[in-house]
Amino acid sequence: MPKSERPRAPLAQDPTLELTLRPEVFEEYVGQKQAKENLLIAIQAARLREGTLDHILLHGPAGIGKTTLAHLIAKHMTATMRVTSGPAIERVGDLASILTNLEPGEVLFIDEAHRLPRMVEEVLYPAMEARTLDIILGKGTAARTLQLNLPPFTLIAATTRVGLLSSPLRSRFGQAFRLDFYTDDEIEEILGRSARLLGVSLDAQAKKRIAKAARQTPRIANRLLKRARDVAQVEGGTKSPNIDDVTTERTLSMLEIDEKGLDKLDREYLRILIEKFKGGPAGIQALAASLSEEEDTLLDFVEPYLMQIGYVLRTPRGRVAAAEAWEHLGLKPPDNRNTKLF
Ligand SMILES: Nc1ncnc2c1ncn2[C@@H]1O[C@H](COP(=O)(O)OP(=O)(O)OP(=O)(O)O)[C@@H](O)[C@H]1O
Ligand SMILES: [Mg+2]
């Protein structure tokens, strides 16, 4: 099986798990204080006006809570939310039919907005700005534009790659929030809640260890918790297992996840960058080719966290491994290597 088809265990989505553990109210949504505060005010104001919210852009790494937050916003607006995604809207007609079927006040959620085709984006501009839909009928000199009015609606777009959105699209959002990685304390809080919902007991040491390995990402924390529950359940032979530190350690080593939360692919990435490219700078294409991985996998799932912890730096000439990355693999960084220079 080509490497790119390999499931990345902790990141692959598990719909049932995500639904049961997804916060239902803002109070349960941990962290992201700035986004939450601003959104709550905007929601209150819109409700007082009996109007709709401005269009909202949510961006940030995978598994960080964008979709969850979109659901919470719609819920607090007591609005129905229609869900679609960039790659699902292939043609202008697809978007036109979604928009013309919206009921007044509804929320339209477009996930992976960076993958909207350019032609479709162009139809979105007037829809977002003036609530009109311009449809071109016919071709050449016989072409006519038909303008339809749309009901008031709120577009919530989510993306892991805000840099790929065109600037006209970006500028049409009334508010944009970057959701960031979580602190260990926040991840522990999420784990505590998830353990309660799953009906398992999780001791303090185990909680700390899972939080440290969760790449500061709620989805991964929940995923690791569930794996640890499986191990505890099988080993303890009980229905309501207790997850302790030993179980957790074993679970992580079974998943080949180290104490920093790095998995095999992350370590392979670092090894290639260091051994093959002498620590860099190396281009993303060259790295992807050497790893037989998709560039997108590296950009979405591998690099954000390696950069977040300072193991990899992005420079104009390519990716560079910091001294910590060498040390993580048990290698001695070259003496002349001063990463501050890059
Ligand atoms: N702030 C939070 N508090 C508690 N749990 C959270 C929070 N954010 C995310 N989660 C949990 O993590 C899971 C993944 O979050 P979500 O699906 O919203 O991520 P996402 O940013 O949309 O990811 P992707 O980019 O892959 O679509 C949720 O189902 C939820 O259980
Ligand atoms: Mg999502």
Domain ranges within the chain, ordered by starting residue: 32-178, 184-254, 264-341
HSE at residue 117, side-chain half, CA atoms within 13 A, is 12
HSE at residue 160, side-chain half, CA atoms within 13 A, is 18
Q: Identify the active-site residue in 207, 215, 219, 223.
A: 219
Query: Any binding-site annotation on 209?
Result: no
What top-level class would CATH report for the domain 264-341? Answer: mainly alpha
Q: Identify the active-site residue in 160, 217, 297, 339.
A: 160
Residues having CB within 6 Å of any atom of ligand 1? 18, 21-23, 29-32, 62-68, 158, 160, 190, 218-219, 222
Residue pair 86/113 in contact by the 8 Å Cβ criterion:
yes
CATH 1.10.8.60 fits 184-254, yes or no: yes
Token duo for residue 120: 């479709």
190 alpha carbon to ligand 1 midpoint, in Å?
10
Residue pair 269/229 in contact by the 8 Å Cβ criterion:
no
Q: Identify the active-site residue in 52, 67, 159, 339.
A: 67
CATH of domain 32-178: 3.40.50.300
pTM: predicted TM-score of the whole model, two decimal places: 0.88
Q: What is the pLDDT along the chain (342 residues), one digit of tens a residue?
A: 444 444 444 444 555 656 678 898 998 999 999 999 999 999 999 999 988 999 999 999 999 999 999 999 999 999 999 999 999 999 888 999 999 999 999 999 999 999 999 989 988 999 999 999 988 878 888 888 888 889 999 999 999 999 999 999 999 999 999 999 999 999 999 999 999 999 899 999 999 999 999 999 999 999 999 999 999 988 877 777 889 999 999 999 999 999 899 999 999 999 999 999 999 899 999 999 999 999 999 999 999 999 999 999 999 899 999 999 999 999 988 876 554 444
Please state the length of the chain: 342
Using a 10 angstrom Cβ sphere, with 0-12 exposed, 13-18 middle and 19 or more buried, the burial of residue 333 is middle
Question: Which atom of ligand 1 is least distant from the CA of 69?
Answer: 18
| Catalytic (active site) residue 91 | no
Across 263-275, b (16+ Cβ under 10 Å) vs e yields: bebbbbbbbbbbe
| Catalytic (active site) residue 66 | yes
Q: Which candidate, 85, 83, 10, 81, places its Cα nearest to that of 255? A: 10
Q: Which ligand is nearest to the CA of 218?
A: 1
How far is the C-alpha of 167 from the C-alpha of 290, rounded, in Å? Answer: 33
